[in-house]
Amino acid sequence: MDSDIFFVEGAELRSLKEHPFCAIVPASAGISARDGTIMEPVVLIGCATLDGRARVSEALRLEVPCPCRYFDPRNDGHPATFIVERALEQRDLTTPQRAVIAASLVHQIMRMPAWLEPFDPGGVFAKGLRTRSGRAALLKACAISSRTYQRMHGVHDPDLLSAISDERVPLRDAQAARDLGPATRRRIFALPYGEQKEAFAHAIERAHKLKAQRRSLPLPISEQTKGIGDAARQLANCRRSHRKIETFTMHFDFDATPFMHTLDNPSTSRPTTRPRTLGCDADRQGDNDEDR
């Protein structure tokens, strides 16, 4: 491994770009340096820094050569799992931060960029991320559950993901912050950084109150609803009387087309052409026979 290490300094070191996967992971706070020398090599993919951007910045500040090596798929595996494992080794990440990393990595990989083709021939790894079993290895590397991933995966706004990662928005309020709407989020993000956490909490609390008020509003009961309810109760009483009911019709006080239902064969029921009151034709026929 030591034979693969080389040193970069000066203008060549300043020309190194940040890899897209590296941008997803928070920067490391501590730098392994001794007597003005960077101890751990930076991992590169081409001319981009996959792991060690803080070491690059420290080497530029100290004006010393920076040790580097190229990413090796045979020893390092997939770049996504590699960057996650390195992040957990070097940083004490919270659950929201790990969830944001997992969701962002899945989004990047499923886009199948051209630079990822040498490390994922045919997009086998990317296609597997569409299923729960295919995501299991990555979620295990991120030390999060599938449910936590799903909660974060529903949040697609990059600014909101960043706010959750640095705890301006708690993970439990991720969905509520997403539902605030783009205009509200833009207004909050335009505030100074220190005021955004309180602004999000206030906006989410206000949204919860408005939602609770809408739920507590009583639903108006119209005359039509009352008429339908009365007709249903009368029909239930007729069925409980154990009489043979051939047909019955319903007529409401409001302007509506009357209906006739045939209980013996509902498929042949047709609307009547003239309104009738709710009743039983068999009972009506029996009354006529008694009068005779």
Q: How far is CA 289 from the centre of its chain?
A: 70
Q: Where are the domains of the chain?
A: 1-71, 170-214, 239-291
In the chain, the amino acid numbered 270 is R
pLDDT at 151: 81
pLDDT at 71: 93
Q: Are 68 and 7 in contact (CB under 8 A)?
A: yes
- What is the residue-wise DSSP string for 181-232? -HHHHHHHHTS-HHHHHHHHHHHHHHHHHHHHHHHHSPPP--HHHHHHHHHH
With tokens 């087309």, the residue in question is 257
pLDDT at 223: 53
pLDDT at 82: 92
pLDDT digits (tens, 9 = 90+) for 98-141: 999 998 898 889 888 888 888 888 888 898 988 889 899 899 99
Distances (CA, A) of 129 to 2, 35, 175: 34, 44, 22
| Cα 197 to Cα 57: distance, rounded to the nearest angstrom | 29
| Cα 268 to Cα 177: distance, rounded to the nearest angstrom | 53
Facing residues of 142 across strands? Answer: none
Q: What is the mean pLDDT of each run of 10 residues along the chain (292 residues)?
A: 80 91 81 74 91 89 90 90 89 88 89 87 88 90 89 80 87 85 90 91 90 67 57 66 48 46 48 48 48 48
With tokens 């931060």, the residue in question is 97
Report pTM: 0.64
pLDDT digits (tens, 9 = 90+) for 35-56: 678 888 999 998 899 998 888 9
